[in-house]
Structure 1
């Protein structure tokens, strides 16, 4: 049996995740009281009424006391041998405030004495016990609905056996570091094709940028160091029972250097690393 706990900040995309899982054969329950988690897992795994795939949503609408007990409840489930992934969806405060303002939805924690910004901050504190145990975190700040669905399909539904799902993600520091990155490599010290007028229109996937960076010794040395680190340590993360890893490669704008490094890493690590995915956060 496989159990997925979907959690996250209100407005971050939890309903989208739950609907996607339901469309892919999961028995889904929204807003389950966290205290019922072990009993639900036991009944779903019962040989007579076995449910092979179950997804539940647990969020800030729960009792605070139950959320505090989440680590203990999750341990009870995993002690029975059930595979239980915890997905946490996040977004920045600014993005969440904008989403609630645009949709005119009410945040579940707002009231006469608590503003939207205060409710968003309070929710994050309530969810800390789940955040700490999430083995897959996804920052939805810069994702459309369709991009989120595609990313969830890749990360949750396209795994190969027991090998961890590893996402190599390029990004631009000017739009912030992805909050879901486990490892971040900063390549802003490399020569920047942006400052060459003839190269500026291209991106790191184009031959013009590849040729330019492959002719720069610093770029090749940086790439080799990152490659050697990941080739050595990704298998050890996997041995430590990590189900998901996210590696961020950042440059200034996320168009040239980081894209080139990320593309090459996936191409060359892919020969011996299953479940390797790529995403370019800041490419149009």
Structure 2
């Protein structure tokens, strides 16, 4: 493949809005293919060169779908020269998914002969590893169709005349760096609220935890330098044609310091007029682990 091509893999639980997202991408000029067997994708790339970006819908209904197969596909696609691959994960809470299935009276593809509750639980568990490596995550729990369209357009509309979209993410170094980050900042030098019994169970979104982290004498200069650097670099990234910038803050457990920094930096960028979304990887994993069997 001699020219840079863009492929967006669209996935997520049934009922989260995957089909809507694919239709939006098609309207944005992507060639859209839904439910293409994963085994045929590499063969598709062996054909004529792609003359426009490609959006592929992949979910549990694909006849050869498996979590390991999807992750292996990502590795193989990542090894293809000139190919830019983005995984778009449409997420949704279990409660909202159940309500959507109840309202439409559809059968869940993973539990066609039993209750939707069983199908939703199985699918969320199956997709959890894919969710963890997604480049772009859109939670549709509180979105209608029009809001979802706007959010997909925000991330994937042609760059001309569009503001750079920044995603700020917190994570734990114990679980490794998120795959999609462009810039990474290590927060482990800051005072750790984990060693304060009253703060241990909370996270960096809690005002007391945020205040504890900010009280470290090294916090203010670090935060100000990171904020100022990002604010100064964003126009350059935008001029270069970059559509998305993913910034990560890591600490030991991904619960206190990195979360507090990610929240503070995202707020500062938003106040500066920047388009920002925020994601806390370990908080999301904890919510998944706490879901009932």
TM over 0.5: yes
In 2, the alpha carbon distance for the partners of 1:261 and 1:79 equals: 33
Note closer, same or farther for the CA distance 1:224–1:140 as it changes in structure 2 (3 Å cut): farther
Shift of 1:228: 4.6
Distance 2:206 2:95 in 1: 27
Aligned to 1:13: 17
Aligned-pair RMSD on alpha carbons? Answer: 4.1
CA positional deviation for 1:168: 6.7
The structural deviation recorded for 1:165 is: 3.3
Partners in 1 of 2:21 and 2:33 — Cα distance? 12
Local SS of the residue matching 1:186: coil
2:96 is matched with: 95
Distance in 1 separating the partners of 2:132 and 2:121: 16
The alpha-carbon distance between structure 1 residues 167 and 75, as it changes in their structure 2 partners (threshold 3 A), is closer
TM-score by length of 1: 0.61
> Offset of 1:120 from its aligned partner?
0.7
Return the TM-score normalized by structure 2. Answer: 0.59
Gap runs ≥5 in structure 1: 170-181, 191-217, 248-258, 271-275
TM superposition outliers: structure 1 runs of 4+ over 3 Å: 63-67, 182-185, 187-190, 222-235, 242-247, 259-264
Could you say which residue in structure 2 is the equivalent of 1:26? 30
Alpha-carbon distance, 1:79 to partner? 1.5
Aligned to 2:69: 69
Residue 10 of structure 1 aligns to a residue in which SS? coil
The residue number in structure 1 matching 2:205 is 186
Q: What do the CA deviations read for 1:32-79 (whole angstroms, capped 9, x no partner)?
A: 111222122332xx34xx332110100011246644222222222221
Contact 1:35 1:66 in 2 (8 A): no
Q: Per the alignment, in what secondary structure is the counterpart of residue 35 of structure 2?
A: coil
- Does structure 2 conserve the Cα–Cα contact (< 8 Å) formed by 1:3 and 1:84? yes
Contiguous gaps of at least 5 residues in structure 2 = 170-183, 186-202, 210-214, 238-242, 249-262, 279-293
- Which residue, 260, 265, 268 being the options, matches 2:269? 265
